[in-house]
């Protein structure tokens, strides 16, 4: 992508937040109330911070999150490759409270009473709200992989699709694997969190094998017919950088796993035994979305009004990030969750001030994928609201995939990560 195009996208990125704002003169003016945010990930933490900022501190914001620290999924595949560690991915929540006055409650939301406008927490506490924002990310559909539907099985075959202890545990399995072994990666049928994430993971594991155990193999068994994101770029990396290491097979819809023998079973194809088996299971919105009654699409995802991210079913409950039913061409990504959170934050501040939300929100997205420890590729897009269709549509010609796969792209990728962590949590 040319520098002019990149600069244009950066400008649009900044403008998208501005486009979402209520009128500048009235920003925060008159906004008052209580907002509870459930989930301190890319969507929730960003929404909490921006509601405090854009209401000039006049709206009370409580963020409910069970984890002591934020651990980023973006860049977590590099921990599997061995070039980064968990500390690199980890940021505390202290700035949200100290700088922005967000009240942080370390707990898990268990139920929502939309009539009374309260959220019940695992501790038994009850939080009242005027507006509730749910950004719980994903839960796994273990019923689709019965052999993994127990705590004991999940301690042997990892998904590592929520960054944290499982990321480190999978890295240990790779380190312990003999040279000449086979790492098998099972990918679910789309939609799932982070379309290019599994293919980046294959590159990172191959990068490790290339240095440390070159007779080993990465076998990708994809439930989709073909690579779902940046296909030509990943295939180029596998053919050139990882020749003889990575093998890709499409149309492998997982039906079950035999944990005792580390074997993946498929709806149609023969079973495959692995030395290290890594299963990314099918996903749906996090459990609190179901408890709140906002799951509306295929019993998996939450339909929202794209002007406010308010649930189409339950009033005063907004949903962000991976949990929503996406618009066409919209990825389930951290960048997208962060952008949706800003539109939602501006809309909530406007609504609490008795004003209308912006009718013209714009979102941008860039997904970088590291193909080595330094080289990256990217795909980007711009999405704008279509009032007639009441959805977000990709702006024609606005993005696309990078022509380059190199270390300059890699420096952009690391800068992207640093920037989004600061935007979300600093
Ligand atoms: C390997 C991998 C690589 C990725 N790479 C990229 C990338 O390069 N770029 C990119 O943009 N995206 C990437 N993603 C996707 C990105 O991580 C997600 O899209 C993003 O995290 C979604 O944000 P979210 O707020 O919806 O969920 P999350 O960030 O997962 O946050 C959800 C939070 O909610 C909390 N929570 C859940 N339930 C409750 C409850 N009941 N009560 C209280 N808290 C609760 C959880 O503890 C969690 O902290 C990647 C994902 C993976 C797995």
Distance from C-alpha of 75 to C-alpha of 414, rounded to nearest angstrom = 8
Return the bridge partners of 379, or none.
Answer: 367, 401
Which residue do the tokens 């339909």 mark?
Answer: 303
- Helix, coil or strand: residue 409: helix
Tell me what the pLDDT averaged over the chain comes to: 94
Does residue 333 have its Cβ closer than 6 Å to ligand 1? yes
Q: How far is the CA of 73 from the centre of ligand 1 (A)?
A: 7
Q: How far is the CA of 323 from the centre of ligand 1 (A)?
A: 9
Asked whether the predicted pLDDT for residue 1 surpasses 70, the reply is no
Distance from C-alpha of 105 to C-alpha of 308, rounded to nearest angstrom = 25
Which residue do the tokens 């007779």 mark?
Answer: 215
Angle between helices 197-212 and 231-240 (to 10 degrees): 10
The sign one gets for the Cα dihedral 217, 221, 225, 226 is negative
Distance from C-alpha of 368 to C-alpha of 71, rounded to nearest angstrom = 18
Q: What is the pLDDT of residue 155?
A: 96
- Helix, coil or strand: residue 273: strand
Which residue do the tokens 């409650």 mark?
Answer: 105
Q: Which atom of ligand 1 is nearest to the CA of 64?
A: 43
Q: What is the pLDDT of residue 423?
A: 98
Quickly state the pLDDT bin for 26 (edges 50, 70, 90). low
Does residue 266 have its Cβ closer than 6 Å to ligand 1? no
The H or E element containing residue 153 is: helix 151-154
Q: What is the pLDDT of residue 335?
A: 98
pLDDT (tens digit, 9 = 90+) per residue, 136-179? 999 999 999 999 999 999 999 999 999 999 999 999 999 999 99
């Amino acid at each position: 992508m040319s520098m002019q195009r990149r600069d244009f996208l950066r400008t649009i990125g900044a403008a998208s937040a501005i486009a979402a704002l209520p009128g500048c003169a009235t920003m925060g003016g008159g906004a008052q109330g209580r907002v509870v945010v459930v989930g301190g990930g890319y969507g929730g933490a960003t929404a909490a911070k921006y509601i405090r900022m854009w209401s000039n501190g006049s709206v009370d914001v409580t963020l409910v999150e069970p984890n002591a620290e934020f651990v980023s999924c973006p860049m977590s595949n590099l921990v599997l490759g061995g070039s980064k560690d968990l500390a690199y991915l980890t940021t505390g929540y202290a700035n949200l409270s100290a700088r922005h006055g967000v009240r942080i409650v370390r707990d898990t939301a268990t139920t929502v009473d939309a009539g009374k406008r309260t959220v019940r927490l695992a501790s038994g506490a009850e939080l009242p709200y005027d507006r509730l924002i749910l950004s719980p990310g994903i839960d796994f559909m273990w019923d689709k992989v019965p052999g993994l539907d127990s705590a004991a099985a999940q301690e042997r075959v990892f998904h590592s699709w929520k960054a944290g202890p499982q990321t480190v545990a999978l890295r240990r399995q790779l380190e312990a694997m003999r040279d000449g072994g086979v790492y098998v990666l099972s990918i679910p049928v789309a939609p799932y969190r982070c379309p290019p994430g599994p293919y980046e993971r294959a590159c990172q594991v191959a990068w490790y094998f290339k240095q440390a155990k070159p007779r080993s193999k990465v076998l990708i068994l994809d439930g989709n017919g073909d690579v779902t994101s940046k296909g030509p770029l990943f295939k180029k990396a596998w053919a050139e950088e990882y020749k003889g290491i990575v093998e890709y097979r499409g149309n492998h819809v997982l039906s079950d796993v035999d944990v005792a023998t580390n074997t993946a079973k498929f709806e149609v194809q023969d079973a495959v035994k692995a030395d290290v088996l890594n299963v990314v299971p099918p996903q749906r919105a996090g459990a609190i979305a179901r408890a709140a009654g906002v799951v509306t699409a295929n019993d998996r995802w939450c339909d929202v009004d794209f002007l406010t991210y308010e649930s189409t079913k339950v009033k005063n409950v907004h949903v962000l990030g991976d949990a929503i039913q996406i618009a066409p061409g919209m990825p389930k990504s951290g960048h997208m969750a962060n952008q949706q959170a800003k539109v939602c934050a501006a809309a909530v501040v406007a609504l609490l001030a008795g004003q209308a939300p912006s009718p013209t929100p714009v979102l941008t997205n860039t997904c970088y994928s590291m193909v080595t420890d330094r080289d990256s590729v990217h795909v980007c897009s711009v999405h704008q609201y279509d009032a007639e269709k009441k959805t977000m549509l990709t702006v024609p010609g606005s993005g696309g995939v990078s022509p380059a796969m190199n270390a300059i792209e890699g420096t952009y990728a690391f800068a992207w990560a640093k920037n989004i962590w600061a935007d979300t949590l600093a």
